[in-house]
């Protein structure tokens, strides 16, 4: 069974700008953090500037609140409410948005979903079903429920409305950097944005928003490399999902609409190992007291490992996309 919505017309910056205007006051405008180059360096491959986008402070704990809210504002939803399949983060966002807009939410997650994420889902009043070992199996169960109940399905990453909402993260990042400059480096433009990818709703949305003038580096783990494998095959293909980042980056196949957006923007893929991912996650806490889930550390892991080697004059933007991890 497919885990995709049909290929839609190409997502444009205008679509993302419309979503951005729609979401004002309904989602958080999350802060950015310009890293002091005197306090943090990568040695000979250090870029001129690094700026974090702290999207883990978003409602529901991840960027996904943006796409879920954009969907709620634009799509018809009946008495049966909404249904979603998720590794946990999309489900939390859908549950949060449904709660705020007066809709029922039924969420299907795979058994590998982190306990902290399942607890978050229930805290928003959602009915939660843990079914299947991976996202694709949870999605199949959610489709059975949709057909039986008449609930409106919200796809985790391949729906263009959800992607447009996610893309507002990149648009907002670009605007904030342009407005603030970068202390110590004086750079007011992002040259490159590093962003984690599973099914690709965030990376595809960001590529559609700012990919025409900003390099997009898609950051993946070896066990969740949907875009890397799609590039190798020339089209999205199914992969076996495994490893530390799988609960958030657990899609078995890159979305077709994401594939179109990423290839159109000439995005590149870089891979990291689970060990590098864990190290980057620990560094964010030890050095900056920033707590994120493993998948959100993928962009920093890519930079630290040298998988992506920055130029000395390059301004790097790193999106820390989620913080749904147990405290302590």
Answer yes or no: do 118 and 189 share one domain: no
Could you tell me the residue range of the domain that residue 126 belongs to? Answer: 64-153
What are the angstrom distances between the C-alpha of 87 and each of 250, 273, 287? 6, 20, 28
Do 245 and 291 belong to one domain?
Answer: yes
Which of 101, 122, 153 lies at the terminal end of a domain, its last residue?
153
Q: Is 81 left (phi over 0), alpha (psi -120 to 50) or beta?
A: left
Domain boundary among 89, 121, 153: 153
Q: In 3D, which of 84, 31, 98, 305 has the Cα closest to residue 194?
A: 305
pLDDT tens digits along 103-128: 999 999 888 877 877 888 889 999 99
DSSP helix/strand/coil, 80? coil
* Cα–Cα distance measured from residue 70 to residue 75, given in angstroms and rounded to the nearest whole number: 9
Asked whether the whole model's pTM tops 0.95, one would answer: no
Distance CA 253, CA 2 (A): 10
Residues 279 and 168 in one domain: yes
The answer to whether the CB of 304 falls within 8 A of the CB of 280 is yes
Number of Cβ within 10 Å of residue 203's Cβ equals 37
* Residue 252 belongs to a domain: yes
pLDDT for 328 equals 60
Q: Is 326 exposed, middle or buried (0-12, 13-18, 19+ CB in 10 A)?
A: exposed
268 - beta bridge partners?
Answer: 217
- Express each pLDDT in 209-261 by its tens digit: 999 999 999 999 999 999 999 999 999 999 988 888 877 777 889 999 999 99
CATH code, domain carrying 276: 3.40.50.1100
The whole-angstrom separation of Cα 154 and Cα 75 is 10
Bridge partners, 130 (sequence order): 109
* Alpha carbon distance 323, 328 (integer Å): 13
The reply to whether 213 and 304 lie within a common domain is yes
Number of compact structural domains in the chain: 2
Same domain, residue pair 179 and 114: no
In this structure, are 187 and 259 located in the same domain? yes
Domain edge (last residue) among 90, 119, 153: 153
- Does 198 map to a domain? yes
**Cα 36 from chain centroid?**
25
For residue 192, pLDDT beyond 60 = yes
């Amino acid at each position: 069974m497919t885990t995709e919505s049909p290929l839609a017309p190409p997502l444009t910056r205008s679509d993302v700008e419309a979503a951005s205007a729609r979401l004002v006051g309904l989602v958080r405008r999350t802060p950015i953090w310009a890293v002091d180059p005197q306090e943090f360096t990568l040695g000979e491959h250090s870029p001129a500037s690094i700026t974090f986008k702290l999207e883990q402070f978003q409602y529901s704990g991840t960027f996904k609140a943006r796409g879920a809210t954009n969907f709620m504002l634009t799509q018809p939803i009946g008495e049966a409410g909404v249904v979603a399949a998720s590794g946990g983060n999309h489900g939390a966002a859908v549950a949060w948005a449904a709660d705020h807009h007066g809709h029922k939410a039924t969420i299907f997650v795979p058994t590998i979903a982190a306990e902290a994420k399942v607890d978050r889902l229930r805290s928003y009043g959602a009915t939660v079903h843990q079914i299947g070992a991976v996202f694709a199996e949870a999605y199949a169960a959610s489709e059975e429920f949709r057909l039986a109940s008449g609930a409106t399905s919200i796809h985790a990453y391949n729906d263009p409305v959800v992607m447009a909402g996610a893309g507002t993260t990149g648009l907002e990042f670009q605007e904030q950097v342009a407005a603030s400059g970068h202390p110590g480096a004086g750079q007011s433009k992002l040259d490159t944005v590093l962003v984690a990818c599973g099914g690709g709703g965030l990376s595809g949305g960001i590529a559609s928003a700012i990919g025409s003038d900003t390099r997009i580096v898609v950051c993946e783990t070896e066990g969740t490399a949907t875009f890397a494998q799609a590039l190798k095959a020339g089209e999205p293909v199914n992969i076996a999902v495994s490893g530390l980042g799988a609960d958030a980056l657990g899609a078995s196949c890159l979305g077709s609409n994401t594939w179109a957006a990423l290839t159109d923007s000439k995005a590149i893929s870089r891979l990291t190992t689970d060990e590098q991912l864990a190290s980057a996650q620990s560094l964010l806490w030890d050095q900056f007291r920033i707590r994120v889930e493993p998948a959100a550390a993928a962009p920093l892991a890519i930079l630290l490992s040298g998988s992506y080697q920055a130029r000395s004059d390059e301004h790097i933007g790193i999106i820390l996309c989620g913080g749904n991890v147990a405290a302590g």
